[in-house]
Amino acid sequence: MASLNSRTAGALEGEVRVPGDKSISHRALMLGALATGRTLITGLLDGEDVLRTASAMRQLGAGVSAGADGVWRVAGRGIGGLVEPDGVLDLGNAGTGARLVLGLLASHPLMATLTGDASLRRRPMARVALPLQRMGATIHAREGCLLPLTIIGAANPVPISYRLPVPSAQVKSAILLAGLNTPGHTTVVEPEPTRDHTELMLRHFGVEVRVERTPQGRATTIAGQPEIEGRAIAVPGDPSSAAFPMVAALLLPGSDIVLTGIGVNPHRTGLIRTLIEMGARIEIANRRDWAGEPVADIAVRASELRGVEVPPSRAPSMIDEYPILAVAAAFARGRTIMRGLRELRVKESDRLQRIASGLAACGVEAAIDGDDLIVTGAGRPPRGGATIETALDHRIAMAFLVMGMASQKPVGIDDSGPIDTSFPGFAKVMNGLGADIAPADPATPGAGE
């Protein structure tokens, strides 16, 4: 394990491009594998999660390669053309990759076994398995529908209309991907809208996607077995990754940074909306469109933050950003109440508990009330001075490294390895802006003192 310490830094300055959007990168590889011809992808996240998806697509028969020019090339198999893999599909820590691959496989007449690392093997798959079984797939899994699991795709898949019991872009996307190789119309109904990267990319590849407002919620329908051809895709910077330098710049006096080419899909901007409500000086400029996705540059300047109440309806648009929002709340004046965070309990770790215990270790008043997180800040830097157990969770790791950049004492993390799943080179990028993140030296007093 590679531990890191983060110490108080001066103002952050400069312009930076964060790695490509992880959600869009997964989908670009998968739809490229289902298209005929060649798909060219620029800006693909080369983090471990996405590399696992690239490997899985190769095992399923697609040609996937990264060029020296930074462009990824995918030679697709066409709808229904995936082949049975010779070995186990190991998705590492990629929850999105695992659930979406299950969707791809559900309507192909083949058998495949999926597994992952210790963290992914604890994450429930039942919510995606249930609708895929209704479409005709057979799934054998460990008790609790955990990985490793084996899926036998349907030889004659059946289209379904499925209402999501809880908001989940992963479940929605898995069903839509299964629907691509299913005759007839497949519909997913969402009581609360979730991120729509799959729908936008399907349209980019020429798939007819119909979205309607119904009394039951937002209904998304696709017609199965279309012919799709390879496309060029430019992947925006990941707003979930941009959240870490964004909050760091807000917390460090005198900071002034610009994040370029960031995805600003309205289903992903809940954190920005919340930070602005807290008093953050954030400006969005130079809006444009990349392969159907809205993109912009984001300027961030140091700000004094105040506590706010975040409604549960906002959770789907910022579910991955709550760890870093909680860090921002620790520096704000007053209470920040984040409601409706049940989904955080089944992420890479029990994020809700990890956030609360990490903040408490750093001298911050934090409490869990049901599915709500309450953080009380004093409007000044908290004590810090702890080493955080990350439990293989990359976002917990990065959030507390940001905390150490502005707290009174250094903050350390026990394992920086998982950061590469979503933000390879995180420490280098942050240090380039003016941070002080370095390997922990057990002989030198630092985090944990």
How far is Cα 266 from Cα 247, in angstroms, rounded to an integer? 19
Three-class secondary structure of residue 249 per DSSP:
helix
What is the crossing angle of helices 95-106 and 48-59, to 10°? 20
CA distances from 435 to 79, 165, 405 (A): 47, 42, 7
Q: How far is CA 254 from CA 130, 274, 300, in A?
A: 51, 21, 11
Angle between helices 239-251 and 270-277 (to 10 degrees): 20
Coil, strand or helix at 189? strand
Element (H, E) at 284: strand 281-290
Dihedral-angle region of residue 303 (phi above 0 means left; psi in -120 to 50 means alpha; beta otherwise):
beta
Asked if 50 and 238 count as a contact pair (C-beta separation under 8 A), the reply is: no
Cα–Cα dist 151/85, whole Å: 12
Q: How far apart are CA 39 and CA 228, in angstroms?
A: 11
Catalytic residues: 320
Cβ proximity of 156 and 136 under 8 Å? yes
CA distances from 159 to 177, 194, 226 (A): 12, 21, 14
Tokens for 52, please give them.
């696992």
Which residue stretches of 62-168 are H helix?
95-106, 126-134
Report the distance separating Cα 186 and Cα 127, nearest Å: 17
Q: Is 179 exposed, middle or buried (0-12, 13-18, 19+ CB in 10 A)?
A: buried
Report the relative pairing of strands 333-338 and 309-310 from DSSP bridges: parallel
Task: Name residue 48's amino acid.
Answer: E
Give the pair of three-digit tokens for residue 315.
């959770």
